[in-house]
Chain A
Amino acid sequence: MREKTGSGGGTGSGSGTGSGPGPDNGFGSAPTYASRLVDGLRAYRLIAWMWIRSTMAYRASFAMTLFGNFAGTVLDFVAILLMFSRVDQLGGYSLGEVAFLYGLSTAAFGVADLTLGSMDRLGQRVRDGTLDTLLVRPAPVLAQVAADRFALRRLGRITQGLLVLGYALAVVDIDWTPAKVLLMPVMVVSGAAIFSSVFVAGGAFQFVAQDASQVQNSFTYGGTTLLQYPPTVFAKDLVRGVTFVLPLAFVNWLPALYVLGLPYPLDLPQWTAFLPPLVALACCGLSGLAWRAGLRSYRSTGS
């Protein structure tokens, strides 16, 4: 498999030639942030496209893993359905309300997982030294690591999340206002950005602790699992932690409870429901800094 990554890099020379002959490839004359961003997105697009084509070489296997990705998250929701086959409420929430939280959390996480889900392989690259290959290519390392093994099968999770969200919207009686309608797409996009910054920060952490990709999973997968349930279920201290320290509550809990017209277990003013975009920006900034610090601390294995 590692072999394959190498040869993938060969094909990926498309990304090298693609980033243009100009000197502003991250070295040379001081590149602006905007040009670095454009560079990064371009590299990401090319590498991701290469992986999509490579996956499509084994269509049967792709269909199976796509179904598996979808089914995996379905089973997740089936567990909640099974719970509700025995009870009418969980933490004071109906099935429809839990489905609303579930759909939003899964959709937002699904988008982040699709775009950055390969970040947990960074530790592996640091250990076996293949990260060095990425460092010498004229494209931002973050874009290369993120697009590595881009897996289209992760669309399965997004699809499933949106289906559950659709179900929730059909059964829950929401008192719609323009602000609430606007909040829905804003929530998914900001939520995806918050989860993305967790993925990037987790990647940065792996520069330090190379074997610890599992720690990252407990914040990403653990985070989305946590947000699928009502905040009333959890201890106050845990809710405080994911509101003020690691602000996962802004992915769906706070804005979703505003839409549903339900109280948040902590005494917070109502305008906090509209903070997700700002929180997402702050998270992205911080995780970007963490990534730079991590990358700078990187010392190759020397082999």
Chain B
Amino acid sequence: MAQNGWRGFVVRAWRLYWAVAAGGFRRYATYRVATAAGVFTNTVFGLILAYTYIALWDERPGLGGYDQAQAVTYVWVGQGLLAVVAVMGGGFEDELIERIRTGDIAIDLYRPADLQAWWLAADAGRAAFQLLGRGVVPMVFGGLVFQLALPADAGTWLAFLVAVALGVLVSYAIRYLVALAAFWFMDGAGVQQLAVLAGLFFSGMTLPLNVFPGALGELARVLPWSALIQAPADVLLGERTGLALLRTYAFQAAWAVGLLALGRLVQSAATRRVVVQGG
């Protein structure tokens, strides 16, 4: 009897969050012009970065363990993933911050759905759409203009997709914390901006982290942001296979679990604040 109830709960929860995720996917799929414009921007920046990386690797072949084709591929992977792992923000967190600021969050907390899981499902739907809508075209363009080092076997691509999914999870966990900061700051713009900066720099978006020198490089490689771009890119470039691949997954998963748990902790502290304000 109790077991049955538990199963029913899981099935209902699965249906609910699946519907939320599908909604997230469809919602972003609606904005076709914006998607095309985003693809255009990614392509322009990819072009600029690719040329600077070519100049850099001309000067120092084998820099950071990449050959030139790998370095250029890295650029296009980064441009393809930029929107997927939301390095620049702009996902659910704008909306969540707005709801916290206006107080609508109180209604959300009454809903029979978990706040963190709800937004995670919505963000997963968004990421899935942006992987298709904004990831593929820049990659294809890069492949037409430059010589890329893309894997030929399906296994590496599959391993890459797993790393991307874990990257999205870490990215979500970070942005959830950023959004919750609005409970204390009310105006979330400052925190959001700092988070974007850290993301751009430490994800490997501006420069691959294995090119960072010395202690800065070591630090950058263990921070959570390296799970967003650097880790999936390394998997696709064939730099992580076998045991190293498992270690990469474990690294990403550990950050995801740790940051999501921290998010829960902050959430419970924050909701107590809501009660104080409301009372």
Contact = CB atoms under 8 A, between A and B. Distances in A.
Interface of A: 1, 58, 60-61, 64-65, 68-69, 71-72, 75-76, 78-79, 82-83, 85-91, 209-215, 217-219, 222, 225-226, 229, 232-235, 238
Nearest to A215: B37
B37 A212 contact: yes
B18 interface: no
B98 interface: yes
Nearest to B54: A233
A54 B10 CA distance: 49
Residue of B45, B47, B55, B185 with most partner-chain A CB within 10 A:
B55
Interface string B15-41: 000000000000000010110111011
Contacts of A219: 44
A78 B63 contact: no
Interface stretch (B111-119, B123-131, B189-197): B189-197
Contact of B52 (A61, A78, A233): A233
B207 interface: yes
A85 B213 contact: yes
A189 B135 CA distance: 38
Given A72-B193, A219-B44, A229-B55, 8 more contacts: A61-B185, A64-B193, A64-B194, A85-B213, A211-B37, A213-B37, A215-B40, A222-B44
A68 B41 contact: no
A91 B55 contact: yes
B56 interface: yes
Contact of B51 (A60, A72, A233): A233
Contacts, number: 107
A68 B211 contact: no
A86 B63 contact: yes
A68 B190 CA distance: 7
A222 B55 CA distance: 18
B45 A218 contact: yes
A218 B197 contact: no
Interface of B: 31, 33-34, 36-38, 40-41, 44-45, 47-48, 51-52, 54-56, 59-60, 63, 98, 185, 187, 189-191, 193-194, 196-197, 200-201, 206-207, 211-213, 216
A218 B51 contact: no
A61 B212 CA distance: 31
A2 to B, nearest CB: 10
A219 B185 CA distance: 34
A218 B33 CA distance: 15
A234 B50 CA distance: 9
Contacts of A75: 197, 200-201, 206
Contacts of A71: 194, 197
B99 to A, nearest CB: 12
A79 B206 contact: yes
B193 A68 contact: yes
A72 B197 contact: yes
Nearest to A61: B187
Given A83-B56, A233-B52, A222 B45 contact: yes
Given A61-B185, A91-B55, A209-B37, A79 B197 contact: no
A86 B189 CA distance: 35
A86 B201 CA distance: 17
Contacts of B213: 82, 85-86
A75 to B, nearest CB: 5
Nearest to A66: B190
A229 B49 CA distance: 10
A124 to B, nearest CB: 11
